[in-house]
Amino acid sequence: MRLVPVNCLKGGEIIAKTVIDENGSRLLAKNTNFKSYYKKKLQARGIDRIYIADKLSEGIEIKDVISEKTRLRTINLVKDTLSIFKATQQIDVTQLKTSVIQIVDDILSNKEILYDMVDIKSKDDYTYGHSVNVAVLCVMLGRKIGAEKSYLKKLALGGLLHDFGKILVPDEILNKPDKLSKDEFDIIKQHPSHGYQIFKDHPLLTPISKVMILMHHEKVNGEGYPLGITKNQIHEGARICSVCDVFDAMTSKRAYRNEYTIVNTLNEMERMTKDHLDEDLFKTFRGMICYYPVGTTVLLSNDTIAIVEQNKIGSIDRPTVRVIYDLKNNEEIFRRVDLSATKELKVERELISEEYMNNPSILRAMRP
Ligand SMILES: [Fe+2]
């Protein structure tokens, strides 16, 4: 399977990965045919790429770090927990705790700790999908630094609930597509405190999950909020949450901007270690994120186009690729290259949707 811009699909292609909508239900189901009228449906939700299965990408499989069942179930539980709180002011995290065990077990069942995927989220699904991604990334980073299973479960629950306090921020501020005024931003900045107030006496949450909610916007230089504390005063769980939160936020499309590519996100985060993010944790984090996830299309340094086939730990910026088109000679080719074994060739960059659509040669090469 491979990731393609929705724009270049004609209809009839096989959908290779389920697309989940903002309500946690299946918008497009795996193994069904794409219909051209789906385009509008997807674009209205800000989804501009999906995974398809075709001849060019035969044999290329992506593996989510948690199962689709776990992901869907957790997204729905986060959504239900929020709406029950909104209606009744009651919080029941019993089921969320079961989900947390599932997330941790799913992640521990993978041999390698590699985040090798592009999560397709609708722009309206930001709250729920984001919470689950942050939880998953927190557990992966926790595992990478050698945390025990009981700590991983606390990290997962904190990750799932880190932004819960946003429920008390008015929707028109939360979803405002334009730049926020200072007063509006001040209101948003209250969400960690709101979240902490909601959970601080909850018997089923451990202190670690609670401080993750309270401290996930603190910065190592002391200029974060709400407490303005510095690096060692910020609990490690919250520093982990902060790295994962920033990564998932930057790689997601939002109402007011497009997503960043993974490489641009990691480079920007590197700069943020000077004042915001924990440098050591970020270094470890960077080592588990594949720069070019399996199924993405990349431009190589010799002007050829390739689909990423496989990533390996230790060479996450040099995947094994399937070269399919030579842009210089405008001809189709088929060659497998392990970029970790050659010095002559490297990935120039990931090809993004606009490039795909605006360059006729690329479009011809890539059209299913
Ligand atoms: Fe937040």
- pLDDT of amino acid 125: 57
Is the pLDDT reported for residue 356 higher than 80? no
**What spacing in Å lies between the alpha carbon of 249 and ligand 1's midpoint?**
10
pLDDT band at 151 (very low <50, low <70, confident <90, very high): very high
The total number of residues written for the chain in this structure: 368
Is the pLDDT reported for residue 144 higher than 60? yes
Is the pLDDT reported for residue 355 higher than 80? no
- pLDDT of amino acid 256: 64
Cα(162)–Cα(147) distance, integer angstroms:
19
**What spacing in Å lies between the alpha carbon of 329 and ligand 1's midpoint?**
49
Which CATH class for the 68-286 domain? mainly alpha
More confident: 124 or 97: 97
More confident: 277 or 253: 277
Average pLDDT, the chain: 92
- pLDDT of amino acid 44: 84
CB 64: neighbour CB atoms within 10 A? Answer: 16
**What spacing in Å lies between the alpha carbon of 270 and ligand 1's midpoint?**
20
- pLDDT of amino acid 84: 93
Cα(59)–Cα(77) distance, integer angstroms:
34
**What spacing in Å lies between the alpha carbon of 190 and ligand 1's midpoint?**
9
**What spacing in Å lies between the alpha carbon of 164 and ligand 1's midpoint?**
8
**What spacing in Å lies between the alpha carbon of 170 and ligand 1's midpoint?**
15
| Mean pLDDT, residues 21-50 | 87
Is the pLDDT reported for residue 124 higher than 70? no
Q: Where are the domains of the chain?
A: 2-62+294-366, 68-286
pLDDT in tens, 212-238: 999 999 999 999 999 999 999 999 999
pLDDT in tens, 284-312: 999 999 999 999 999 999 999 999 999 99
71 alpha-carbon distance from chain centroid: 12
pLDDT in tens, 256-277: 667 788 999 999 999 999 999 9
Cα(321)–Cα(340) distance, integer angstroms:
10
**What spacing in Å lies between the alpha carbon of 362 and ligand 1's midpoint?**
39
Instruction: Give the range with max mean pLDDT: 44-53, 184-193, 257-266.
Output: 184-193
- pLDDT of amino acid 245: 97
**What spacing in Å lies between the alpha carbon of 196 and ligand 1's midpoint?**
12
Is the pLDDT reported for residue 35 higher than 90? yes
**What spacing in Å lies between the alpha carbon of 232 and ligand 1's midpoint?**
20
Comparing C-alpha atoms, which of 17, 13, 59 is closest to residue 322?
59
**What spacing in Å lies between the alpha carbon of 17 and ligand 1's midpoint?**
29
The answer to whether the predicted template modeling score (pTM) of the entire model surpasses 0.85 is yes
Question: What's the per-residue H, E or C state across the chain?
Answer: CEEEEHHHCCCCCEECCCEECCCCCEEECCCCECCCCHHHHHHHCCCCEEEEECCCCCCCCCCCCCCHHHHHHHHHHHHHHHHHHHHHCCCCCHHHHHHHHHHHHHHHCCCCCCECCCCCCCHHHHHHHHHHHHHHHHHHHHHHCCCCHHHHHHHHHHHHHCCHHHHHCCHHHHCCCCCCCHHHHHHHCCHHHHHHHHHCCCCCCCHHHHHHHHHCCCCCCCCCCCCCCCHHHCCHHHHHHHHHHHHHHHCCCECCECCCCHHHHHHHHHHHCCCCCCHHHHHHHHCCECCCCCCCEEEECCCEEEEEEECCCCCCCCCEEEEEEECCCCEEEEEEEEHHHCCCCCEEEECCHHHHHHCHHHHHHHCC
Instruction: Give the range with max mean pLDDT: 53-67, 86-100, 208-222, 341-355.
Output: 208-222
Is the pLDDT reported for residue 357 higher than 90? no
**What spacing in Å lies between the alpha carbon of 40 and ligand 1's midpoint?**
31
- pLDDT of amino acid 217: 98
| % residues pLDDT > 90 (the chain) | 73
